[in-house]
Amino acid sequence: MADPLFGPELRLMLADDDAAGLKALCEDLHPATVAEALEDFSPQEVWKIITPASIRTQAAIFEYLPPTRQVTMVEADRAQVGQLLTKMSHDDRVDLLRRLPVKTKEAVLRLVDEADRKDMATLFEYGENTVGALMTTDYAWLPPTMSAAEAIDQLRQQAPDRETIYYVYVLDEAVRRPDGGVSPRRLLGVLSLRDLILAPRHAIVRDIMSDELVSLAFTDEASVAADLLARYDFLAVPVVDASGGLLGIITHDDVIDIIQNEATEDMQRQAAVGPIEGSFLDASFGNVWYNRAKWLALLFLLQMLTINVMRHYEGELEKVIFLMALVPLCLSVGGNAGSQAATLVTRALALEQITVKDWFRVLRRELLMGLALAATLGVLAVLRTQFLTADATHVKLGDYGFPFASLVWQVTFSVAGICLCGTLVGTMLPIACQAVGVDPALTSSPFVATLSDVLGIVIFFNVANWFFF
Amino acid sequence: MADPLFGPELRLMLADDDAAGLKALCEDLHPATVAEALEDFSPQEVWKIITPASIRTQAAIFEYLPPTRQVTMVEADRAQVGQLLTKMSHDDRVDLLRRLPVKTKEAVLRLVDEADRKDMATLFEYGENTVGALMTTDYAWLPPTMSAAEAIDQLRQQAPDRETIYYVYVLDEAVRRPDGGVSPRRLLGVLSLRDLILAPRHAIVRDIMSDELVSLAFTDEASVAADLLARYDFLAVPVVDASGGLLGIITHDDVIDIIQNEATEDMQRQAAVGPIEGSFLDASFGNVWYNRAKWLALLFLLQMLTINVMRHYEGELEKVIFLMALVPLCLSVGGNAGSQAATLVTRALALEQITVKDWFRVLRRELLMGLALAATLGVLAVLRTQFLTADATHVKLGDYGFPFASLVWQVTFSVAGICLCGTLVGTMLPIACQAVGVDPALTSSPFVATLSDVLGIVIFFNVANWFFF
C-alpha cells in the first residue's frame, strides 16, 4: 500500500518542479519509505522524483521498489540505469538484470564500466536459487597483518560501499594463477566489528579474528544458507569456492526472503501446485497453468480408481441405492482428516521437529489421535442419522426389510473407519517419502484425499456388507 | 541432528573427567555448534559438559538448546540455572520461564537477584505473541550530548552485555514520576555503529543520530515487527511505550522465528487445523485433538448438505444407477482445483502481493485459468471414458436405451463444470473474507472442497439431466 503521508506532498513538488524539495525528501527519509510512497506514480514520474537526489540515494530507493516495478522503470529510461547500477548492491543489481528482457539487458550493460560488467557477469553465471546467485560481492575485508586501529581506519574507507561492515572477512594475499588470472583471495577468518572495537588498539587482526569458519559453497541451495543463518543468528555468512577463496557473502536480509519463498513453495506443494515463480499476478499464465494442470491431471487419473472400486460393488449397490446419498459425506471425512495429518507431519519434517526415525512415536500418537477424531465424528454421525433422517427413509428402509439401526451404524462405522484411515495415510505417507529420499512436501493434501477416497469406498462397502448384504 | 564430529570427543572427555578439555571445547566452538553436539546426551551429562566453561559461555550454549530441552535441563538441576539466567539474553530467559511449570519457575526465580527478577517480571506481563513479549531489554544506549569518540568508548563498556551494539539508541534524561517511580527514558534517535565510526571524533551524538524513528508499540503483534524488519532490512527495531519511552528492541534473529511460526500457522489453517502451540510431538494431545476435531466436526456438518442434495435427485438416481460410480471422481476435481486456487490466493494476500481491490483482476485471471484447467481435464475425461470403459458398460447403457456418447459427455461436462466451479469458489472466498475483515486463512482447502462438493453434486445431476433424463 502507498504511504498516505508523502504521496500528496510528492505530487505537489512534482507539479512545482521543486527539485530541491524532492532531493531533501528523498535524502532524509528511509529509502524503503520513499519507495513505498512512489507506488502510485508512473515510471516517468518516479524518475523525475528521484533524479534530484544523489546517485547513491537513487540506487537505495530503486532497490526497494517491487521487482516488476524496477523492470518497467528500466524500460522507461535505460540511460538513467547505467549510473544507478554502479551504486546498487551487487546482489540486487544481478537480480534486476536477470529479470530484464535480453535486449534491454544488453543495452543497459553497455552503459556500465568494465569492472562492474565483469562482476555482474560472474554473479550471473551461478544457477538460480543457489547461494552463488543470491550472494553479494561488496563485502568488507582486511589483511591479517593490520593492527586493530589500522583496521578501523581501513573500514572507515570501505564502509560507504559495503553491504555490511559488521562482519569483516580476513583474506590471504592474492595469488596469480599460472594462466595469468587471479584466484579469489583465500578466506582466513572473520572478525565482527564488535570484537574489533573491543580489542586493544595494537592487537593484530590475525590474533583477534575467529578462524572457526562457518561458510557456504557457491553451489549450495538457498535454503541451506537460510538454515545456517537462522541456526547461528549470524548477520552474514561467507561463500567460498572449492579452494576456500572468498566469493561473496549472504546477508541476514536475504534470509527473510528465502524463508518466505520456501514457505510459499511448501504451501503450494501442499495444495498440489508445482512451485510457481514470481508473485501471484506477475507469474506467467502458461507456467501457472502447467504447474496446476499437471497435478490436477495426475490426481484425476489416480482418482479414476474410484470408478473401478465402485464398479466392483455394483451388484450390492443396486440393492441399496438409498445408501449412495451417504457416499460423498463419508468420503469427505477421510480427505479432511488426511489433509490435517499430512500438513502437520510435512511441516514438522521441514522444521526438523521430527525425523524419519521418530516414525513409531508419530504413528502411535496419530493412531490415538485418529481414534479420538473418529469417535468424535462417530458421535455426530449417530446424532445426525438417528434424529435428523426423514420419515421417508424409515419407510424405505422398511420396504427393503432393514431395521433403521442398520443405517445409523452404517454411517457411524464408515465415518469412523474412513477418518482413521485418512489420518494414518496422511501421517505415514510424508514420513515414507522422506525415508526413501523423496520430498515429503510432494504428498500434498489432495493426493492424500485421493488415496483416502479409494480406500474410503472399500471401507464404506465393507461396512455395508455387515449391515445390509 | 547431532553433529557427528564432536559427539564422540565429548563422550571421551566426559568419561575421563577432562574439565580442561571440555572447557576449551565449549569456549572455542560457536555455542550453536556445541548445543547441536549435545543433543544425544542426558540433561545431567549436559550440565557436566558445560559447567567447566564460563557462565557467559554456558548461557550462550543454553540459549541454543531446543526449548523443551531447556526445560528438562532446569528440572534436572535448578541450582545451576540461577546464575545462568543472569547472563542469558533477556528475551530468551523470559521465554524459558514462560515454559517452566509454575513451581519450578518460582524456585528458579528465588535464585536470581532483585534487579533481574524485576526485569523478568516486567517482560512477563506482556501478552503472548506481542512485540512486548518478544523484545529484549539488553540494548545499547547513549545520551545525546556525547562526542563520537566518547560514544565509542562507552559502547566498548556496554558491548559484552548487549544483544547488539550495531544499533545504538539515543535516550533522553530519566524523569522521576510524581509517584516516585522512574518512567522509561524517551527515545530521541538511533545511531548505527557504522555511522558512528564514519563520524568525525568530535561530532556530537545528537547531530549524527537519525531522528526519523521507525518504532513499534509494545502491544503490536509479532507479525507487525516481522513485516517492519523485513521491509526496511533493519537489524533491530525499538519498542516504545505510549509516551515514546524505550522499553526494548526486537532483533533480526527474532524475526526469522516469527516468520517461520507465521508460515506454520498459515499452513495449519489452510489444512483446517486451528493453530497448534509448540512443536509436533510436544504439543498437548488434548489441544491438538480440539484444534483438529472442531474443524472436522464443522466440515462434517457442512458436508451433510450433500445428503440433502443427493436425496433431491433420488428419483433420477434410481434410473441411472450406473452413473453413481462416477460421482466420487467428478466431485474430487472440484476439491483439488479449489484447494489450489484457495492456497494461491490466500498466500498472495498474506504476502500483500494482492489486495481486496485487485479482486476483479484476480477473478478474470482465475476464470481463464479455471477454463484452461477444465479443458485439460475434459480432454482426459473424454479419453478415459471413450477408450477405457468396459464392454459391460456399453451393454448396460444399451439396455437402458442410452447412446454411449451420453456417458462420455456426462463425465466431460461434469468434470469441466466442477473444475471451473471449484476454482472460482477457491479464488473468491478468501478475497471475500478479507473484504469483510475475516482472516482469509480460515477459508481452508477442506472448507473449499466441502463447498465445491455440494455445488458439484448439483452440477453433476444437472448435466445428467441433459443427457439422460
Most confident of A247-261, A376-390, B78-92, B138-152: B138-152
Indicate the pLDDT class of residue A1, thresholds 50, 70 and 90. very low
- Distances in Å between the alpha carbon of A46 and those of A34, A85, A97? 10, 17, 20
Report pLDDT for B2: 43
The amino acid sitting at A215 is S
Residue in chain B nearest A378 by alpha carbon: B297
Superfamily of structural domain A304-468: SLC41 divalent cation transporters, integral membrane domain (1.10.357.20)
Q: How far apart are CA B464 and CA A5, in angstroms?
A: 58
Residue B82 is given by DSSP the state H
- Residues A50-76 have a mean pLDDT of 85
Residues of B in contact with A1 (CB under 8 A): 352, 355
CA proximity to B441, closest of A343, A291, A334, A290:
A343
Residue in chain B nearest A231 by alpha carbon: B32
Q: ipTM of this predicted complex?
A: 0.76
Report pLDDT for A395: 60
User: Is B252's CB within 8 Å of A270's CB?
Assistant: no
Residues of B in contact with A165 (CB under 8 A): 194, 197
Most confident of A52-61, A171-180, B268-277: A52-61
Which residue out of A332, A357, A399, A453 would a mutagenesis test of the B interface target, given it has the greatest number of B Cβ atoms within 10 Å?
A332
Residues of B in contact with A198 (CB under 8 A): 156, 159-160
- Is the pLDDT at A3 greater than 60? The verdict is no
Report pLDDT for B237: 93
The number of angstroms, rounded, from the C-alpha of A166 to the middle of its chain's C-alpha atoms is: 27
- The strand pair at B187-192 and B216-217 is best described as unpaired
Residues of A in contact with B165 (CB under 8 A): 194, 197
User: Is B351's CB within 8 Å of A260's CB?
Assistant: yes
Indicate the pLDDT class of residue A239, thresholds 50, 70 and 90. very high
Nearest Cβ partner of A230 from B256, B307, B355? B256
The amino acid sitting at B8 is P
In the beta sheet, which residues pair with residue B204?
Answer: B147
Indicate the pLDDT class of residue A2, thresholds 50, 70 and 90. very low
- Residues B355-360 have a mean pLDDT of 88
Nearest Cβ partner of B212 from A28, A279, A311? A28
Total residue count of chain A as it appears in this document: 469
Total residue count of chain B as it appears in this document: 469
Residues of A in contact with B273 (CB under 8 A): 340, 343-344
Task: Choose between B142 and A36: higher pLDDT.
Answer: B142
- Distances in Å between the alpha carbon of B13 and those of B17, B25, B49, B56, B77? 6, 10, 9, 21, 21
**3-state secondary structure at position A250:** strand
How does the average pLDDT of chain A come out, rounded? 84
For the domain made up of B139-261, the CATH class stated in words is alpha beta
Report pLDDT for A215: 92
Report pLDDT for A255: 86
Contact between B324 and B317 (Cβ < 8 Å):
yes
Contact between B213 and B187 (Cβ < 8 Å):
yes
In the beta sheet, which residues pair with residue B169?
Answer: B141, B190
- Residues B179-191 have a mean pLDDT of 84
Contact between A38 and A1 (Cβ < 8 Å):
no
Q: Output the CA angle A456-A459-A463, nearest 5 degrees.
A: 140
- Is the pLDDT at A398 greater than 70? The verdict is no
State the smallest CA–CA distance between residue B409 and chain A in angstroms: 16
Report pLDDT for B143: 93
Report pLDDT for A89: 80
Q: How far apart are CA A154 and CA B147, in angstroms?
A: 21
The number of angstroms, rounded, from the C-alpha of B408 to the middle of its chain's C-alpha atoms is: 46
Indicate the pLDDT class of residue B391, thresholds 50, 70 and 90. low
Half-sphere exposure of A148 (CA within 13 A, CB side): 16
Q: How far apart are CA B459 and CA B425, in angstroms?
A: 14
**3-state secondary structure at position B397:** helix
Lowest mean pLDDT among A157-166, A299-308, A315-324: A315-324
Question: Is A304-468 in the same CATH topology as A139-269?
Answer: no
- Is the pLDDT at B3 greater than 80? The verdict is no
State the smallest CA–CA distance between residue B325 and chain A in angstroms: 5
- Is the pLDDT at B209 greater than 90? The verdict is yes
The amino acid sitting at A320 is V
- Residues A269-293 have a mean pLDDT of 82
State the smallest CA–CA distance between residue B234 and chain A in angstroms: 8
Pick the CATH number of A139-269 from 3.40.50.1370, 3.30.479.30, 3.10.580.10, 3.20.10.10: 3.10.580.10
Report pLDDT for B378: 86
- Is the pLDDT at B66 greater than 50? The verdict is yes
State the smallest CA–CA distance between residue B110 and chain A in angstroms: 31
- Residues B185-204 have a mean pLDDT of 91
Indicate the pLDDT class of residue B238, thresholds 50, 70 and 90. very high
Task: Choose between B228 and A123: higher pLDDT.
Answer: B228
DSSP result, A97-145: HHHS-HHHHHHHHTTS-HHHHHHHHHHHHSPTTBHHHH-BS-EEEE-TT
A421-447 tens-digit pLDDT: 999 999 999 999 999 988 887 778 888
How do the domains of chain A map onto residue ranges?
6-125, 139-269, 304-468
Phi, psi angles (nearest 5°) of residue B371: -65, -45
Indicate the pLDDT class of residue B421, thresholds 50, 70 and 90. very high
Give the contacts of B349 (CB within 8 A, at least 6 positions apart).
B355, B430, B431, B434, B440
A405-427 tens-digit pLDDT: 778 888 889 999 999 999 999 99
Contact between B457 and B306 (Cβ < 8 Å):
yes
Contact between A419 and B289 (Cβ < 8 Å):
no
Residues of A in contact with B64 (CB under 8 A): 231
Give the contacts of A342 (CB within 8 A, at least 6 positions apart).
A270, A425, A426, A427, A429, A430, A443, A444, A445, A448, B271
Indicate the pLDDT class of residue A138, thresholds 50, 70 and 90. confident
- Is the pLDDT at A4 greater than 60? The verdict is no
Q: How far apart are CA A72 and CA A19, in angstroms?
A: 23
For residue B171 the three cell numbers come to: 535516550
The amino acid sitting at B62 is F
Greatest extent of chain A over all pairs of C-alpha atoms, in Å: 101
**3-state secondary structure at position A210:** strand
State the smallest CA–CA distance between residue A70 and chain B in angstroms: 16
User: Is A235's CB within 8 Å of B232's CB?
Assistant: no
Contact between B135 and B238 (Cβ < 8 Å):
no
Indicate the pLDDT class of residue A110, thresholds 50, 70 and 90. confident
Residues of A in contact with B335 (CB under 8 A): 335, 446, 449
Report pLDDT for B294: 85
- Residues A122-131 have a mean pLDDT of 78
User: Is B445's CB within 8 Å of A271's CB?
Assistant: yes
- The strand pair at B236-240 and B246-251 is best described as antiparallel
Check if CATH label 3.30.830.10 holds for domain B6-125.
no
User: Is B29's CB within 8 Å of A212's CB?
Assistant: yes
B306-319 tens-digit pLDDT: 888 887 887 777 77
User: Is A353's CB within 8 Å of B280's CB?
Assistant: yes
B24-53 tens-digit pLDDT: 888 888 888 888 888 888 888 888 888 898
Contact between B109 and B168 (Cβ < 8 Å):
no
- Using a cut of 0.80, tell me whether the model's pTM lies above it: no
Contact between B190 and B169 (Cβ < 8 Å):
yes
Indicate the pLDDT class of residue A141, thresholds 50, 70 and 90. very high
Residue in chain A nearest B453 by alpha carbon: A328
Q: Output the CA angle B192-B197-B199, nearest 5 degrees.
A: 95
Q: How far apart are CA A136 and CA A250, in angstroms?
A: 6
- Is the pLDDT at B1 greater than 50? The verdict is no
- Is the pLDDT at B169 greater than 90? The verdict is yes
User: Is A369's CB within 8 Å of B292's CB?
Assistant: yes
CA proximity to B334, closest of A449, A162, A203, A373:
A449
User: Is A342's CB within 8 Å of B307's CB?
Assistant: no
- The strand pair at A216-217 and B216-217 is best described as unpaired
Report pLDDT for A102: 78
- Residues B348-365 have a mean pLDDT of 87
Report pLDDT for B161: 77
